[in-house]
Amino acid sequence: MVSTHAGSAQPHPPIGALLREWRTIRRMSQLDLALEAGISARHLSYVETGKARASRDLIGRLADVFAMPLRERNALLLAGGYAPQYQENALAAPALERMRQAIELIIAHQEPYPAFVIDRQWNVLMANAAAMRVNRLLMDGRESRHANLLHQVFDPDDFRSVIVNWPEVAEKFIRHVHEQLAAVPTDRTLQDLLADVLAYRDVPAHWRFRDLQGMPAPVLTLVFRSRLGELRFFETITTFSMPRDVTLDELRIECAFPADDHTAAVCAGLAASA
């Protein structure tokens, strides 16, 4: 499969507009950004107004100050008139074969407990057999209506219907999305996804804002109802260290572990009867 570059097929805004947008979200003045990047405020002003062209090195330093993910770094380079620095390969591409094998190894070793892989927009890309078995149990053999984890959690006709502590779980997910958007405020797709899931019925209005009430628990237990009794899981998240590919930068592997002996026994029984 041929590698592609993020944003290469989309028109990009002027670099000045992007810099002003990121400065606004990060609450930085031109002087603040200039000092952090090691340049004069006057030169930064010229870059933002188009009177001067930023070098690749300067763009890299500005991206470092903003703590931009790889996709946004590529977008900033494109806006500055340069080729993107980071490739974006499909997970099935030969270039990511070793990394894909590592992912497959992790989720296979998670058996008999669920594990799945999601991207930045919460799409489920891979899942192990345990995840499929537990899902069939929870949904009484029905398939999920969505391939997106947020929609699964918020749609009353999907997994939301079997989550015992849904308000607590849903608020945890919404808090995570708000944190993502705070880190990457230019992600229009994620903004649209947040609007879509908040539009489901009986979603509290205050979840539309980042300042949610209270503090989250250190570790959240997800409680599901099933014909074999309640199942309780907690989750860990694995990401790649220092990725140099946009796809890898945006992937996370979520592994569910049983929070009690009953859940562990049910998962083991499902595996034995598979």
The answer to whether residue 38 scores a pLDDT higher than 80 is yes
Region 219-230: what's the mean pLDDT? 95
Q: Which residues contact 198 (CB under 8 A, 6 or more apart)?
A: 154, 174, 207, 208
pLDDT of residue 4: 39
- Residue 268's alpha-carbon distances to 114, 143, 236, 256, in angstroms, are 11, 22, 19, 14
Name the pTM for this structure: 0.85
Confidence class for position 212, pLDDT limits 50, 70, 90: low
Confidence class for position 10, pLDDT limits 50, 70, 90: very low
pLDDT of residue 205: 86
- Per-residue pLDDT tens digits for 168-209: 999 999 999 999 998 888 899 999 999 999 999 999 988 888
Region 12-16: what's the mean pLDDT? 81
